[in-house]
Structure 1
Amino acid sequence: MGKKRRTLRVVVLDTNVIVSALLFKGKTAQLLNLWKQNLFVPLLCKDTFTELVKVLAYPKFSLTESEIKTIIAEEILPYFKIISLKSKITGVCDDPDDNKFTACAISGQADFIVTGDKGLYKVKKYKTIKIIKVEDFLRLLKT
Structure 2
Amino acid sequence: MGQNRRVTSVRTVLDTNVLVSALLFHSSTLAWLRGAWRSGRILPLASRTTTQELIRVLAYPKFALNANEQRDLLDDYLPACEIVTIPVLPPEVPECRDPFDRQFLELALAGNAEVLVTGDVDLLALAERFAVPILSSRKFRQILDHEESLDS
Q: Tell me the TM-score normalized by structure 1.
A: 0.91
The residue that corresponds to 1:36 in the other structure is 38
Map Cα deviations across residues 101-125 of structure 1 (whole Å, 9 max, x no partner).
0000111000111001111111114
Distance 1:94 1:125 in 2: 15
Structure 1, unmatched stretches of 5+, are none
Q: Which moved more, 1:80-89 or 1:12-21?
A: 80-89
CA RMSD of aligned residues (A): 1.7
The share of aligned pairs that are identical, in percent, is 37
Q: Deviations over 1:1-22 (max 9, x none)?
A: x955414321100000000001
In the other structure, the counterpart of 1:111 is 114
Number of corresponding residues: 141
Name the structure with the higher strand share.
Answer: 1
Divergent runs of 4+, >2 A: 2-5, 86-92, 125-128
> Does the 8 Å CA contact 2:93/2:105 hold for their aligned counterparts?
no
Over residues 56-115 of structure 1, what are the superposed CA-to-partner deviations in whole Å (9 max), with x where a residue is unaligned? 000000000111112112x11221111101243565311111000000011100011100
Q: Which residue of 2 aligns with 1:48?
A: 50
Say if 1:111 and 1:128, in contact at 8 Å, map to a contact too.
no
Q: Return the alpha-carbon distance in structure 1 between the equivalents of residues 57 and 116 of structure 2.
A: 19
CA distance in 2, matches of 1:38, 1:62: 30
| Ranges in structure 2 where 5+ consecutive residues have no aligned partner | 148-152
1:1-143 map, 5 Å: 3-6=3-6, 7-24=8-25, 25-73=27-75, 75-86=76-87, 87-88=89-90, 89=92, 91-142=94-145, 143=147
